[in-house]
Amino acid sequence: MECYFEKENIFTFDGKGELLLTIMSSLAQEESRSISENVTWGQRKRFSDGKVSVGYSQFLGFDKGEDGNLKVVPEQAETVRLIYKMFLEGKTTQGIANYLIEHGILSPAGKKTWRSSTVASILTNEKYKGDALLQKRFTVDFLTKELRINNGEVPQYYVEGSHEAIIASEEFEAVQEEMARRKELGRAYSDKAFHSKIICGDCGGFYGRKVWHSTDKYRSVIFQCNQKFKNENRCQTPTLTEDEIKQRFLTAYNDLMGNRSTVLADCELIRQMLCDTTALDAEMQREHDEMTVLSELMQTHIKKNASVAQSQEAYALETERIEKRYNAAFEHYTALEAERYRRVCKSKELTAFITMLKKQPLVVTEWDERLWITLLDTAAVKRDGSIVFRFKSGIEIIK
């Protein structure tokens, strides 16, 4: 069937039609590419200028202010604070989602349903602490409009204090740390498992919740090593009740806070001494320079072989030598990078611990799940029944 394009005066059965359509489609595609590049340039210019833009219609807690920046919506901000509070009290993202649904709290999209992933995205979005990471995603192709997560393909910009915060910075960092810890635990974590920090001093495994005499009047709940009857050499650590563990933690906490000023000073000293990256940065730069030199040397080596006749055996030996040097430098650089990342994370952890500790009461008499999660690293049960409470500062108190 023939088609006639009136505006262009083209008949598809005409011998010239196919050529004209090809030319015009190419022009249209080029125009589309040009428009896309202009829009992309505009967006990236805004990012480089530190201007924050979000999809306000589905962004809980913020609206667009008169100055074009993010403005806190008080009612929605309370929901965000509730989500962070519940997470630091031990709830899972799914547990929080269920709670929000049961209490009729609307999602960012204004719906009555919540997903675990939505809660997780709120808990990991830096905008809630007043900062903004710009250009998290980028358009791969201007024709398909495919979006991809930016893993360094295009520049990213991090703007500190770009707008009013809903969540305090130390609380946000405490949530990130707790999320990482739970991820390592995998299925071992549940919103009822405050014992996911209690470990066996014998085997290093987790303590689990067990019910004795579940169907009669002697019913009781205890905690014991999950591997106690699974290992050939049974763990000799004792069973404990939940109340025993909680009471001992409160005692350890009160001991810690009884010497708070010294603890804070020690933590700051540890942070400055053990988390400094100055020497690492210099060493990483040296290895980076070494890799750059070796890359250029390899290129020169390859070009020379292509233009000058030489022994291929000698060429192969030299190639192998350069590759070995490069691989050694790369491995060392990667190790340094991992160590630097560890120190930066530890520095953030200690900074959050210091800030959090300053805000806590000196004496606590009632159980507080938030303190357990934000301040404690592990609680190791020993054979004699004592518990070694290791706080995130590295301080250990035995009770």
Kindly report, residue by residue over 18-46, the tens digit of the pLDDT: 666 666 667 666 666 666 555 555 555 55
Ramachandran bin of 68, using left for φ above 0, alpha for ψ from -120 to 50, beta for the remaining angles: left
Task: Choose the weakest-confidence range: 37-46, 106-115, 126-135, 295-304.
Answer: 37-46
204-227: average pLDDT: 81
Q: CA 194 to CA 295: how far, in whole Å?
A: 52
CB contact at 8 A, 165 and 129: yes
Q: In sequence order, which ranges of 224-277 are alpha helices (DSSP H)?
A: 242-257, 260-274
Q: CA 120 to CA 280: how far, in whole Å?
A: 33
218-233: average pLDDT: 78
Q: What is the pLDDT of residue 143?
A: 57
Q: CA 227 to CA 238: how far, in whole Å?
A: 12
The number of helix segments (H) and strand segments (E) in the chain equals: 10, 14
Q: Which residues contact 301 (CB under 8 A, 6 or more apart)?
A: 315, 318, 319, 322
- Is the pLDDT score of 193 beyond 60? no
Instruction: Please give the helix or strand (H or E) that residue 378 lies within, else none.
Output: strand 376-381
More confident residue, 148 or 218: 218
Q: What is the pLDDT of residue 90?
A: 81
- Residue 380's alpha-carbon distances to 20, 89, 199, 349, 391, in angstroms, are 78, 21, 5, 21, 11
- Is the pLDDT score of 13 beyond 80? no
Burial class (CB in 10 A: 0-12, 13-18, 19+), 378: middle
Q: What is the pLDDT of residue 98?
A: 92
- Is the pLDDT score of 53 beyond 70? no
Using one digit for the tens of pLDDT, what is the confidence trace for 141-166? 655 556 666 665 666 677 788 788 89
Q: Supply φ then ψ for residue 252, to 5 degrees.
A: -65, -40
**Buried b / exposed e along 9-28 (16+ C-beta atoms within 10 A):** ebeeeeeebeebeeeeeeee
Q: What is the pLDDT of residue 388?
A: 95
Asked whether the whole model's pTM tops 0.85, one would answer no
What token pair was written down for 95?
Answer: 């547990």
Q: CA 399 to CA 389: how far, in whole Å?
A: 8
SS3 365: coil
Query: CA torsion sign, 115 to 116 to 117 to 123?
Result: positive
More confident residue, 140 or 367: 367
Give the largest Cα separation in the chain, rounded: 96
